Amino acid sequence: MDQDFFSQIQETFGRTSLQPEQYSSLALAYIGDGVYDLMIRTIVLDLGGGKVREFHRTTSGIVKAESQAKLMHAIEQELDEQEMAVYKHGRNAKSATSAKNASIVDYRVATGLEALIGYLYLSHRMDRAMALVKQGLQETGQMPHKYKQRQGR
């Protein structure tokens, strides 16, 4: 049986009794940041060729707070009630860290997006997370070039 990545981690390293709703917004954003980064890195790597420095530059441009905020604004109307609540809790969470190269508004919106991605990941709903991210990347023109031509993918 083919398991999702999260289920494989749980089976290998042990399950948690916590449900996604029981994690703090910042904990959801913490895991969501890593999941989103991995999604974007995978897309960029699949472009092929290039050097690691080019992969990093392309990825950094997409995962920065300003770009995440644009993506979030593009998909906001697609969220259901629960997803919107998770996003808003993440956006409004008081973080000990602050934006380095972004406005506080973009940083908070990006944190909300990361919380949403984390929630969907922990809920075993990566298909939903990927559909939202794909739509957002396409609508904002952030989809790495090769993928703009493969929208049916």
Q: Which of 147, 124, 125 is nearest to 135 (CA)?
A: 147
pLDDT of residue 149: 45
- Token pair for 148: 């703009």
| Contact status, residue 113 vs residue 35, Cβ threshold 8 Å | no
Q: 90 by DSSP, 3-state: which?
A: helix
Question: Which of 2, 33, 80, 127 is an active site residue?
Answer: 33
CA-CA distance, 64 to 69, in Å (whole number)?
9
Residue 148 has pLDDT above 50, yes or no: no
For residue 49, what is the DSSP state?
Answer: S
Q: Does residue 37 carry a catalytic annotation?
A: no
- Tens digit of pLDDT for each residue in 79-138? 999 999 999 999 999 877 777 778 899 999 999 999 999 999 999 999 999 999 999 999
What is the C-alpha separation between 20 and 27, in angstroms, rounded? 10
Task: Classify domain 21-145 at the CATH class level.
Answer: mainly alpha
8 A C-beta contact, residue 102 and residue 66: yes
